[in-house]
Amino acid sequence: MKTLGIIPARYASTRFPGKPLVDIAGKSMIQRVYEQAKKCIHLSEVIVATDDDRIFEHVHEFGGKAVMTSPDHQSGTDRCAEVALKHSEYDVIINIQGDEPYIDPEQITKLITCFNDANTQIATLIKKILTEQELHNTNSPKVIINKHSEAIYFSRSPLPHIRGQEPQNWLQHFTYFKHIGIYGYRADILQQITKLPVSSLEKAESLEQLRWVENGYKIKVAETELETYAIDTPEDLKKLSEL
């Protein structure tokens, strides 16, 4: 099984313009993500997919591999699909978030192992929620899973609702999981899901993975105990520096 790691990276972030090139202890964010991904021995290749010349040139300067993609893509998934279409030799595509500079290679490996099952179409990671603050944070999507370790719904709200209990006590009565935003796709499935129209659930929650669920695709989940630190805003970068 040949596996391609793709790191989508765009310059024009609404909340943090130029985020991939921001300096983190002497290296850019995109360089740190790239180097962490390269440590995963189960990835046959790692490519940065961008629509910005500055990012493209920077990746080549530090010795990485980058390709230019269309500026019209609405998501990282769409950007991955364009690159994957030009690299048909790969069986599985891993979409690695470009804003997690310290992603652990073990998490990538755990995701890839989901595809040892020939029935896996799409895969992602989940982690147990341990604090009330995390449970009620709308920026941290929650995941409902079935007995087959498949995601059946994602929500910004804490689901399920525990009837008869105060929200601050819900963690005592149910095991909640949050979504870790790294995806894997069978190459053919990736091309299929990027052709789907935006769905009603996706619009409601602003979560693209709901488009796939609503259209009947199976999303395999693997549980990780490792934490990830995504940088969406300058404030997030400051917090990471303090850590």
- pLDDT confidence tier of residue 200, bands split at 50, 70 and 90: very high
Interaxial angle between packed helices 53-61 and 29-38, expressed in degrees from 0 to 180 and rounded to the nearest 10: 50
Q: Are residues 98 and 130 located together in one domain of the fold?
A: no
Confidence of residue 29 (pLDDT cuts 50, 70, 90): very high
List pLDDT tens digits, range 207-219: 999 999 999 999 9
Count up the domains in the chain and report the number: 2
pLDDT, tens digit, for every residue of 81-123?
999 999 999 999 999 999 899 999 999 999 999 999 999 999 9
Query: What confidence score (pLDDT) does residue 242 get?
Result: 64
Same domain, 193 and 97: no
Residue 110 lies in a domain: no
Domain hosting residue 213, numbered range: 121-179+187-227
> What is residue 45's three-state secondary structure?
strand
Residue 65 lies in a domain: yes
**Is 125 found in the same domain as 97?**
no
Is residue 235 in a domain? no
pLDDT digit string, tens, across residues 125-136? 999 999 999 999
How far apart CA 97 and CA 182 sit, in angstroms, is 6
Specify the pLDDT at position 243: 62
Is residue 243 included in any domain, yes or no? no
**Can you give the CATH number for the domain in which 219 is found?**
3.90.550.10
125 and 68 inside one domain: no
130 in the same domain as 91: no
Domain contains 24: yes
At which of 41, 70, 103 does a domain end?
103
Q: How far apart are CA 11 and CA 24, in angstroms?
A: 16
- Provide the whole-model pTM: 0.94
**53 to each of 11, 56, 70, 71, 166, how far by Cα in Å?**
9, 5, 12, 11, 51
